[in-house]
Amino acid sequence: MNAVGIDVSKGKSMVAILKPFGEVVYKPFEIKHTTSDINSLVKLINSVEGESRIVMEHKGCYYEALAHQLSEANLFVSAINPKLIKDFNNDTLRKVKSDKADAIKIARYALDKWHNLKPYSIMDKLRNQLKIMNRQFCFYIKHKTAMKNNLIAILDQTYPGVNTYFSSPARSDGNQKWVDFASTYYHVDCIRKMSKNAFVGHYQNWCKHKKYIFSKSKAEEIYEKSKGLVPVLPKDDITRLIVKQAVDQLNVASQTIESLRILMNKTASKLPKYPVVMDMTGVGSSLGPQLMSEIGDVSRFTHKSAITAFAGVDPGVNRSGSYEQKNVPISKRGDSNLRKALFQIMCILLKLMPLDDPVYQFLDKKRAQGKPYYVYMTAGANKFLRIYYGRVKEYLSTLSE
C-alpha cells in the first residue's frame, strides 16, 4: 500500500509518497497544475508497486482540478477536511510548517486512516454550476448590504429617513421603490420647495412612470414629514451626483442578485430532487436551490448524523468521569453557507407558524421549554436536515425503482 499525500496550493502542489512504517518512496516534490505535470504524476503513481491511495485537503477550489484529473485516471482520490489533517497527531515537539512537512503529514494520515478513506466524487456539471452560482449569490448579497448601508449613510445627510418610507420588496428586475424614490427626490428640498398639491401631482406621475402603486395619503404623509427634516449637504449638482452614484451601485448589485436567483431556480429545477425539496415548508425559490447546491448528493452521507455534522449543527459533547457540561456549543465546522440558509428557513417557519409542520412543532416545543433563541433555532435546523435527508433519499429511491 502506497500513501500519496498532496499539499495543495494555488497553481501548484507538493507531493510525498510513503509506505507503511514511514518508509519514504519518494521525497516531497513539487508539481504544477498543468496537464503535463499531472500526467507525469499519474505515471509515477502507477509505476509504484502495490495499491495507491491519494489524499489531499479540500481547500477552496484549488484542489478540484487536480482531484478531478487524478480521478479521471482511475486513481483512488480522497479529499479531506483541512481541520482533520490539522488535528492529526504530531510526534514532534518542534513547530514545523512547510509544504514538504504538510505533504508528509497528509501521507501519514492516509496510512493511518487507510480503511476509512472515502473516494472523491466528481460533482456533475449541473450541481457544480449551481454551487458556483450560490457562492456568487452570497457574495453579491453581502455586496448589496454594503451598498445599501452606504446609500442610507449618504441620504441621512440629504433626506434623513427616506429609506423607511416604503417596505416594498425588490422587483424581479432588482429595483426597489425607496431606492427609485431617493434617486428622483435625492434631497428633502426637492419636495418641500413645492406646494403640497404640486408634489402630490408630481409623485402621482412618478408612480405612473415607474409603475408603482399611487397613494394620495402616502404622498401627503411624505410631504408633511419633509417639513421638519434637517439636511446637512446642500441641494446642488455635486450632492445629486453623489447620491446617483450610490444608487447606481446598489441597483447593479440588486439586479445581479435577482438574475442569479432566477437562474439558480431554473437550474435547480433540472435536478431530480427538486419537487420534494421545494415542497418542504419554509423553502422557496431562493432557499431551495441554495440547499440543493450546498448539500449536493445526499447518497454520500451514510446516515442522518453525517449530514448534520457536514452542516456544523450537530450538538457537541463535553463529558469526563462524573462531569458533564450541559450547554455545549455546536461544532460549526461545516458549511457556513448551509447554516445560514438553514437559519433563514427557521426564521420563516417562526413567521408562518405552520401548525402541521413537524419542524415548527419542534421549534415551538423547545421555545415553550424556555430554551435560548440560538439553542432552539439550531435544534430546529438539525431536525430539518434529518427530515430533508429522509425525504430526499426516499424520493430518489422510488425514482430508481
Q: Which of 85-89, 130-134, 235-239, 380-384 has the lowest mean pLDDT?
A: 85-89
What is the CA 205 to chain-centroid distance, rounded?
41
* Burial label, 307 (beta-carbon count in 10 A; 0-12, 13-18, 19+): buried
Question: pLDDT at residue 246 above 80?
Answer: yes
CA distance 153 to 119: 51
CA distance 176 to 164: 12
- What band does 178 get if pLDDT is binned at 50, 70 and 90? very high
- What band does 91 get if pLDDT is binned at 50, 70 and 90? low
Residue 79 domain flag: yes
44, 163: one domain: no
pLDDT in tens, 115-139: 888 888 766 678 888 888 999 999 9
CA distance 38 to 32: 8
User: Which residues on neighbouring strands pair with residue 80, listed in sequence order?
Assistant: 57
pLDDT of residue 329: 64
- What band does 174 get if pLDDT is binned at 50, 70 and 90? confident
Q: Mean per-residue pLDDT for 356-368?
A: 91
- What band does 309 get if pLDDT is binned at 50, 70 and 90? confident
Residue 122 domain flag: no
246: phi then psi, degrees, rounded to nearest 5: -65, -40
pLDDT in tens, 272-305: 889 999 999 999 888 999 999 888 888 878 888 8
168, 107: one domain: no
CA distance 189 to 342: 45
Domain of residue 27, residue span: 2-116
Angle value at C-alpha 190, between 182 and 148, nearest 5 degrees: 15
Q: Mean per-residue pLDDT for 37-62?
A: 85
Q: Which of 10, 5, 82, 9 is nearest to 41 (CA)?
A: 5
Q: Which of 15, 81, 76, 89 is nearest to 46 (CA)?
A: 76
Residue 89 zone, left/alpha/beta (φ > 0; ψ -120 to 50; rest): beta
Q: Mean per-residue pLDDT for 354-367?
A: 91
pLDDT in tens, 322-345: 665 666 666 667 778 888 999 999
Average pLDDT, the chain: 87
Domain count, the chain: 3
The last residue of a domain, from among 240, 264, 288: 264
The last residue of a domain, from among 202, 232, 264: 264
Residue 385 domain flag: yes
